[in-house]
């Protein structure tokens, strides 16, 4: 199946397993905040953006309603919340990591073949990951998208992702910090010690996936916790991923001071 062309409805099984091929997208506000939240003003400049930049309300997607941070994690969480635009990797067009890539407000495509690894391709920043259909291993290095291992448990695709860590990250004005994976625009996060276990279960009818992800990271959480949501199949005849290469949109944020200095010379 060529990238960009997908069936409108679920087809026959592949090697006896559900066929997850297609373009999928969430219909929720999890990328703004995984926890329940009210609508709010834009954190940067209402005078410039008005209601266009406002934060939409959300019921939340977390079992139990909140993320169980430990005391040690609160300081960094507070720093994120004070800098929700300038520190968010999404604003800088960095790769989103897992599970955030799944519920960003852009479609993504699953490409599943016969008895082979599974590819997931995301419209945002041309991100992608290979789900290695094998036993969970030890990733050689940390990366923005981590390393994913998949297995079928009955008709459910279970994906375990490890080694989610961007390393040093450049913030606006040139500051370098040890990066972590942000989970939403509210500053919730996980570290490179996290294990993320996702479950993709194709629902009856084939046009939505029951999705859940359990996150365990004993360095910042008191216990594992789980999010869940449906992923909806894009059923229009021309459903496809369009180009959203966001690097040019982030240059002023990251390098605006340097660009302005060069223009003054």
Considering just the CA atoms, what is the radius of gyration of the chain in Å?
19
pLDDT in tens, 175-199: 899 999 999 999 999 999 999 999 9
pLDDT value of residue 46: 62
pLDDT value of residue 175: 83
Count up the domains in the chain and report the number.
Answer: 1
Q: Which parts of the chain have pLDDT scores under 70?
A: 1-11, 45-47, 173, 257-265
Distance CA 175, CA 58 (A): 32
Residue 11 lies in a domain: no
Residue 139 lies in a domain: yes
Residue 101 lies in a domain: yes
pLDDT value of residue 172: 77
Distance CA 239, CA 25 (A): 11
Residue 12 lies in a domain: no
pLDDT value of residue 5: 47
Domain of residue 158, residue span = 22-264
Residue 143 lies in a domain: yes
Nearest to 100 by CA among 74, 75, 127, 118: 127
Residue 10 lies in a domain: no
Residue 9 lies in a domain: no
Residue 1 lies in a domain: no
pLDDT value of residue 258: 65
pLDDT value of residue 2: 43
Residue 12 CB neighbours (<10 A) = 6
């Amino acid at each position: 199946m060529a990238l960009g062309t997908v069936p409108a409805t679920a087809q026959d099984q592949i090697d006896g397993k559900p066929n997850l091929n297609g373009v999928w997208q969430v219909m929720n506000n999890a990328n703004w905040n995984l926890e329940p939240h009210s609508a709010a003003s834009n954190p940067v400049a209402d005078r410039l953006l008005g209601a266009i930049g406002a934060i939409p309300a959300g019921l939340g997607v977390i079992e139990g309603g909140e993320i169980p941070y430990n005391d040690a994690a609160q300081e960094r969480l507070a720093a994120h919340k004070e800098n929700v635009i300038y520190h968010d990797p999404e604003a800088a067009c960095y790769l989103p990591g897992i599970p955030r890539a799944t519920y960003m407000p852009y479609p993504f495509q699953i490409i599943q073949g016969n008895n082979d690894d599974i590819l997931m391709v995301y419209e945002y920043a041309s991100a992608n990951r290979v789900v290695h259909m094998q036993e969970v291993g030890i990733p050689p290095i940390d990366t923005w998208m981590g390393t994913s291992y998949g297995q079928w448990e009955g008709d459910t695709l279970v994906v375990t992702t490890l080694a989610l860590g961007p390393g040093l990250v450049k913030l606006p004005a040139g500051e370098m910090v040890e990066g972590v994976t942000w989970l939403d625009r509210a500053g919730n996060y996980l570290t490179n010690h996290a294990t993320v276990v996702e479950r993709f279960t194709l629902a009856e009818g084939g046009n939505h996936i029951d999705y859940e992800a359990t996150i365990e990271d004993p360095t910042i959480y008191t216990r594992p916790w789980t999010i869940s949501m449906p992923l909806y199949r894009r059923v229009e005849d021309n459903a496809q991923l369009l180009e959203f290469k966001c690097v040019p949109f982030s240059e002023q944020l990251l390098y605006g001071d340097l660009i302005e200095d060069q223009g003054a010379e």
